[in-house]
Amino acid sequence: MISRLLAALSALLLAIMPAFAAPVRIKDLVEFDGVRSNDLVGYGLVVGLNGTGDGLRNSPFTEEIMTNILERLGVNVTGEQFRPNNVAAVLVTAELPPFARAGSRIDVTVSAIGDADSLLGGTLVMTPLNAADGEIYAVSQGTVIAGGVSAAGDGAEVVQGVPTSGVIPAGATVEREVAFDFTSLASIRMALRSPDFTTAARIETAVNEAFGRRVAVMLDAGTVQLDIGATGARSPAHALVQVENVLVEPELRARVVVDQASGTIVMGADVRISRVAVSQGNLTLRIEEAPLVVQPNPFSDGETIVVPRTNAAIEEEPGIGLAEISSGATLSEVVAGLNALGVAPRDMIDILKSIKAAGALHAEFVVR
């Protein structure tokens, strides 16, 4: 019985973190100071839609931008009344990667902001993309590849995916470079994606051992500073080539992550539970309404009334008794103890919450 329960629940209880963290490259643990991307955004117009564009009566800004584009092209539409339904106003977003040079191409995402039904088959008209400083860094144009499809008839409509959003691969050309003199840096800070004092200390030790001298120093739990001059490299870029592939074993925090939507449970290897006893049972409260209609006799002086009838019952399953988890139990012992209860993953989530509330679960508990 126990083996069957373990086999059934082990597929649903995901304990995927190993007992010891595998060595990871420094480039996968940190962000290098100055090596970062920049977000771009623009406001444009998608044309060529098959009757799935904005309703201009409900989206007047679409008509305004269309008028501006036509006037820039030398077409005078002042005072004209046009109601095309093959255009849609969109927001265009992109990410300018670090060290992007003028003339290089980047991907863009196009999203409708009006009441358009679909951007499938549309073409984005030349749209400038601005950064946070208000300057134009790229210009986008091209055919939109929508992420879904929709079809509608007189009595029904079906939508798959998100047809009001799409992408244009390599759809923008970089026109302006970010002013940053990387070669003049005397030191570079490495910012840990998951700040931890132990991991930062290990990075400091690993880098110093790789160079054979003291070139890195830990500033805090999230920052390690690299002295470019002390490395003896010809430039900061050459120094980072030697640093980014150094292997470090990161320190993992004890954490339990549960996803209530899918019933998934993920527990880290360092999760510990104090000695605790757990019991689980189901309580069901059932209320049924069965109203009775009472009618008077034929041709009599009376009225029809509804008499309420309610059946209420409480059902409680016998439960499975108490299961004990010993103090300082390891990950495998915790999993075995919980599986021995023979409960479903969603009930197991409630059990873990209760253990955490009792102060016996020594780990960060994350619910998504």
Verify that 157 and 51 share a domain, yes or no.
yes
Verify that 266 and 322 share a domain, yes or no.
yes
pTM above 0.85, yes or no: no
Verify that 60 and 123 share a domain, yes or no.
yes
pLDDT of residue 104: 93
Verify that 260 and 360 share a domain, yes or no.
yes
Dihedral (Cα; 326, 327, 331, 337), 10-degree rounding: 20
- Residue 100: how many other CB atoms lie within 10 Å: 19
Where a domain ends, among 195, 220, 248?
248
Where a domain ends, among 221, 248, 275?
248
User: For the chain, give me the number of helices (H) and strands (E)?
Assistant: 7, 25
> Nearest Cα to 325, choosing from 339, 313, 337?
337
Verify that 56 and 165 share a domain, yes or no.
yes
Q: Both tokens of residue 74? A: 């030398």
Does a structural domain hold residue 22? Answer: no
What is the residue-level pLDDT of the chain in tens, covering all 368 positions?
434 433 433 433 333 344 455 788 999 999 998 888 899 999 988 988 888 877 766 666 677 777 777 777 777 766 566 667 788 889 999 999 988 899 999 999 999 988 888 888 899 999 999 999 989 999 999 999 987 666 666 556 666 677 888 999 999 999 998 888 888 888 999 999 989 999 999 999 999 999 999 999 999 999 999 999 899 888 899 999 999 999 999 888 888 888 777 777 777 777 777 777 666 665 555 666 677 777 777 777 777 787 777 676 656 555 555 555 555 556 556 666 666 666 666 777 777 787 778 777 778 788 87
Q: Both tokens of residue 2? A: 């126990």
Verify that 129 and 214 share a domain, yes or no.
no
What total number of domains does the chain contain?
3
Q: 106 with 142: CB under 8 angstroms?
A: no
Q: 184 with 193: CB under 8 angstroms?
A: no
Q: How far apart are CA 228 and CA 187, in angstroms?
A: 5
Verify that 146 and 226 share a domain, yes or no.
no
Does a structural domain hold residue 229? Answer: yes
Which residue type is seen at 133?
D
Structural domain boundaries enclosing 298: 2-17+255-367
Does a structural domain hold residue 30? Answer: no
Where a domain ends, among 213, 248, 283?
248
What would the DSSP string read from start to end of 83-101? Answer: --SSEEEEEEEEEE-TT--
Q: How far apart are CA 343 and CA 348, in angstroms?
A: 6
The kind and range of the H/E element at 8 are: helix 2-10
Does a structural domain hold residue 28? Answer: no
Verify that 317 and 276 share a domain, yes or no.
yes
Verify that 164 and 194 share a domain, yes or no.
no
Verify that 213 and 313 share a domain, yes or no.
no
> Nearest Cα to 173, choosing from 144, 146, 137, 145?
137
Strand pairing class (255-259; 364-367): parallel
- Angle among Cα 9, 333, 196 to the nearest 5 degrees reads 105
Does a structural domain hold residue 23? Answer: no
Q: How far apart are CA 115 and CA 308, in angstroms?
A: 48
Does a structural domain hold residue 32? Answer: no
Does a structural domain hold residue 96? Answer: yes
β-bridge mates for residue 150, sequence order: 159
> Nearest Cα to 254, choosing from 334, 347, 351?
334
Does a structural domain hold residue 311? Answer: yes
Verify that 53 and 99 share a domain, yes or no.
yes
Verify that 244 and 259 share a domain, yes or no.
no
